[in-house]
Amino acid sequence: MGEQPEQEPREFPKNLGEPMRPVEDTTDAELHPRFWEAQRAAARRGSLAWGFAAFFIGYGGYYLTVLILNAVRPSRAGGFDPTTPPNTGPLLLLAFAPNILLGLVPAVFSWWRGRGLRSDFGILPKRRDFKVGLACGGIALLGSWALTLVIIAIAGPPPETDLARLMQGERTVWLFLFALFAFLGAPLTEELLMRGALWGALEHYRIPRYAILVLTALIFALIHQEVWRTPVLFFGGLAIGAARMITGRVAASMIAHATNNFLPALLLFAIAR
């Protein structure tokens, strides 16, 4: 056998022993770490420029329906026979019927112009949404209760509303359904409108997140049209909106809103038994 030719030594890359270059970090350096989660959620969404139209049509439809129902609702001016008092149960539940439009219109816009409720609003809750939502909802509940006591001490008890008058004497399934909607229905519809459509539209036009938080909380308080409770509703809106700002998902603010409504709904449940 002939002598094998001597092989030249294999050259290894000069940088083999050097550490690997890290993957490029695309995180916004000017963004506080607590908002990275919300930034990622916003990046996965499409444009919510249609959010303003959804908000104004939703609230406009709600307000118009309230006016119509008030116009056709039987008046108590003529009194009633005390031996045959009117059944106010259906009217009690009907008082919440316009509220459905607040969430229905943003949902229709999301299906029509957007990518659906899951993508546009993050409506399916994650474990993180429950943690943040329960924490922010607890702050809203305790803070609103304390603020209510302060306002009562300064300005006296709140005036009686039409809704409170409808609830007087009710111990039926209607009151139970009303409490159920207050606990689950209202957080769904109101959050789709406020922290869904309106928040998403403001976010699309790059309004600063703290300005969005304050603005949506203020509008949330004003659209309830309860002057006495406006400061309480504003504080609650800030705490509920914080859940949306931290996670970037409406599911967290829905859980916070439901937590805030838990005790009032629980009292109504107890009365309806």
Q: Residue 79 domain-assigned?
A: no
Q: Residue 263 domain-assigned?
A: yes
pLDDT, tens digit, 9 for 90 and up, residues 92-113: 667 778 899 999 999 999 999 9
Nearest-angstrom CA–CA distance, 122 and 249: 5
Q: Which residue range(s) make up the domain with 112?
A: 34-71+87-272
Number of structural domains, the chain?
Answer: 1
Write down the pTM of the prediction.
Answer: 0.79
Q: Residue 159 domain-assigned?
A: yes
Residues 233/224, Cβ–Cβ less than 8 Å: yes
Write phi, then psi, for 169 (nearest 5 degrees).
Answer: 85, -5
Between residues 71 and 20, the one the model is more confident about: 71
DSSP state of 123: -
Q: Residue 23 domain-assigned?
A: no
Q: Poorest-confidence range of 29-33, 156-160, 221-225, 252-256?
A: 29-33
Where residue 20 falls among pLDDT bands split at 50, 70, 90? Answer: very low
Q: Residue 190 domain-assigned?
A: yes
**Residue 11: what pLDDT?**
53
Tokens in use for 42? 């916003």
Residue 79 has pLDDT above 90, yes or no: no
Q: Residue 82 domain-assigned?
A: no
Q: Residue 211 domain-assigned?
A: yes
Tokens in use for 56? 């104004």
Q: Residue 114 domain-assigned?
A: yes
